[in-house]
Amino acid sequence: MKIPDALWAELIVERLQIEDCIHSGWIMEAIPQSRELARELLAMGIIPKHVVVLFAPDIVLIERNLGKRVDVSTGEVYHTTFDWPTEDYIRQRLKVPHGISEVETARRILKYHQDYPGILQSFGSCMKLINADQPCADVFAQVFTHVQAPPRTLAPFSPRILLCGPPGSGKSMQASLLSRKYGIINVCCGQLLKEAVADETKLGELIKPYFDSGWPVADNIVVKMLSERLNRLDCHIRGWVLHGFPRDEDQAKLMQRANINPNRVFFLHITPESILERLCYRMLDPVTGERYHTLYQPAASKEASERLLIHPRDLEEAVKLKVDAYLRIAEGLETVFEDAIFINGDQDPQTVFEYIESYIVNPRPTTLGFPLQMA
Name which residue leads in pLDDT, 352 or 44.
352
The answer on pLDDT for 308 being more than 50 is yes
Interstrand relation of 160-164 and 240-243 (parallel, antiparallel or unpaired): parallel
What topology is assigned to 160-280+315-374 in CATH? Rossmann fold (3.40.50)
Burial 128-138 (b: 16+ CB within 10 A, else e): eebebeeeeee
Domain boundaries, the chain: 27-37+47-148, 160-280+315-374
pLDDT at 364: 52
CB atoms within 10 A of CB 11: 11
CA distance 293 to 300: 11
Q: Does 151 sit behind a cis peptide bond, omega within 30 degrees of 0 on the bond before it?
A: no
How is 275-327 classified by DSSP, letter by letter?
HHHHHTTEEE-TTT--EEETTTB--SSHHHHHT-B--GGGSHHHHHHHHHHHH
pTM attached to this predicted model: 0.56
**pLDDT band at residue 155 under the 50/70/90 scheme:** very low
Mean pLDDT score, 21-49: 82
Cβ-Cβ contacts under 8 Å for 331 (sequence gap 6 or more): none
- What is the reported pLDDT for 153? 46
**Residue 137: φ, ψ to 5°:** -65, -35
Please answer whether residues 164 and 333 qualify as being in contact, where contact means their C-beta atoms are separated by less than 8 angstroms. Answer: yes
Phi, psi angles (nearest 5°) of residue 333:
-65, -40
Q: Which residues, in sequence order, are bridge partners of residue 222?
A: none
What is the distance between the alpha carbons of residues 318 and 330, in angstroms, rounded to a whole number? 18
Q: Check residue 162 and give its pLDDT.
A: 96
Most confident of 32-46, 48-62, 160-174: 160-174
- Looking at residue 182, what is its pLDDT? 85
Of the candidate ranges 5-9, 10-14, 269-273, 370-374, the one whose mean pLDDT is the lowest: 370-374
Task: Tell me the pLDDT tens digit for each residue of 90-129.
Answer: 988 999 998 888 889 899 888 888 888 887 777 766 678 8
What are residue 369's phi and psi, to 5 degrees?
85, -5
Type of residue at 328: R
How high is the pLDDT of residue 185? 93
CA dist 333 to 2, 125, 247, 326, Å? 44, 33, 7, 10
CATH number of 27-37+47-148: 3.40.50.300
pLDDT recorded at residue 342: 93
